[in-house]
Amino acid sequence: MTYEVLRQHIGDVAQQLNGLGVGRGDGVAIVLPNGPELAASLLAVTAAATAAPLNPAYTADEFAFYFDDLSVVALIATAGDESVAREVARARGVQILDLVVPPGAAAGKFELRGTAGPTVERGGCAQLDDIALVLHTSGTTARPKIVPLTQRNLAVAAGNVGVSLDLGPEDRCLNIMPLFHIHGMISGILASLAAGGSVYCSPGFSALRFFTWLEESQATWYTGVPPMHQLIAGRAARNPERIARSRLRFMRSASSALSVNVLAEFENSFGVPVIEAYGMTEATHQIASNPLPPKLRKPGTVGIAAGCDIAILNESGRHLSTGEIGEIAIQGESVMGAYLDNPAANASAFVDGWLRTGDQGVMDAQGYLTITGRLKEIINRGGEKISPKEIDDVLHEHTTVAQAVTFALPHDKLGQEVAAAVVFKHRMSTTEQELKDFAGARLAPFKVPRLIVFRDHLPRGPTGKVQRINMAEQLGLTKPDQAAP
């Protein structure tokens, strides 16, 4: 699909939506599989209404919650696909718009079919401060909050990513991220198009198909989360010829921490830099990013401010100095103005115009940010505060460990104890005691995991993130330990 066809397509879809009774500010749930139609529908709906992309794997109860919470008036779904989302939409009186792909259509070209609606109050193209997108936070301990992002937020954020990655018309992104997630939407799609580049839309992540797509697409870059990179790295040795024929100039990692070992393995296999970045939904994705060579990259950090102003605050909201650990706070044009209909959350999240991220970190003298963990994930072992990420990093140094996640284990005397779940590299293994001894040689005794469990894979949320807060429960380890510390 060319830019001219895309431009015309967005205008056509906007007219179709208006004719179906959907206008600016109306919530439209989009439940489609990953691919070019989902990418194009996001562009078109945000240009004429308020898009609410949802994970097709949600249950009926989850769809009911999100439809109600977001006040959606219409659902876009593939014609002929009798999904759970359709059933919930019918039960709630939500208009269903069938997405139909005409024969021989360009990638992402589609038509919307439904019943004509009343004349819309606000039709035409969206304005800068219209809400373009509504997403829920991926909270694990409380009701998810609604993040409303404006046209301005999206435009600024897309430009920020493009500048930090030096994207241009010659660049092509291989998108393997789910497009109901802010990471894929902004970095994979909008940043590429804002820079005049192109996007190859995969049907969803597959480590088995990645190298075929890489060669087929002739992509110059891709962006993903650490679990994806780890799986790709595990297959790199089997695909040296495809890697050699690729046009990759860098790889980007965001949404959670990437171990330094995996980063080094990647760079050795692919011969291109891995760019670590940091983002969150409330910031319209990117907050900080490591620069591209020849500028300084610092593995283990998430780089320098790349779209937002960044501050480190103490518990009372005071700004801390270089080298002091505290809560990361942000402000800027890509940061949302407020959570939707949630005054309590806004009161606790904002301080003097700065949005508290809930992440703990430290800034060095050169402005490089290191994330030391989520404040809610910090393990409190009898008064000792322990960052799980520090232990993750140590376990990842062991030659047998492919993935490791440290988490709090309930303990009747200490309140919490340190535990870890580990996935081994292919055909490798070791003992729990060996890993404890390995960690003990590198960590203070109170930080060494009391329990290490081995799994074939780690439980993950819908966007691929490990949900550390719930890990003990997901692994069936929630009964408080009765043994002496």
pLDDT, residue 350, reads 96
Judged by DSSP in three states, 135 sits in: strand
Mean pLDDT by 10 residues, the chain (485 residues): 97 96 96 97 97 94 93 96 95 96 96 90 93 82 84 98 98 96 96 98 95 97 91 92 95 87 90 96 97 94 96 95 96 97 94 95 97 88 86 93 92 90 93 96 93 91 73 82 38
Residues 247-284: pLDDT tens digits? 999 999 998 778 888 899 899 999 999 999 999 999 99
pTM of the model: 0.86
DSSP β-bridge partners for residue 362: 370
Cβ atoms of 447 and 418 closer than 8 Å: yes
- pLDDT, residue 140, reads 45
pLDDT, position 142: 58
CATH topology of domain 378-474: GMP Synthetase; Chain A, domain 3 (3.30.300)
| CATH class given for the domain over 3-126 | alpha beta
User: Does 378-474 match 3-126 at the fold level?
Assistant: no
Q: Which residues make Cβ contacts (< 8 Å) with residue 373, sequence separation at least 6?
A: 359, 360, 387, 388, 389, 390
Look up residue 403 and give its DSSP letter: E
Q: In 341-483, where do the E strands start and end?
A: 350-351, 354-363, 369-374, 379-381, 384-386, 401-411, 415-424, 451-454
Quick one: pLDDT at residue 482? 37
DSSP line for 43-101: HHHHHHSEEEE--TT--HHHHHHHHHHHTEEEEEEETT---HHHHHHHHHTPEEEEEE-
Render pLDDT for 208-233 as a digit per residue (tens, 0 to 9). 999 999 999 999 999 999 889 988 99
Instruction: Give the tokens for residue 115.
Output: 């019943």
What's 152-304's CATH class?
Answer: alpha beta
Residue 173 β-bridge partners: 199, 221
Q: What are the domain boundaries of the chain?
A: 3-126, 152-304, 378-474
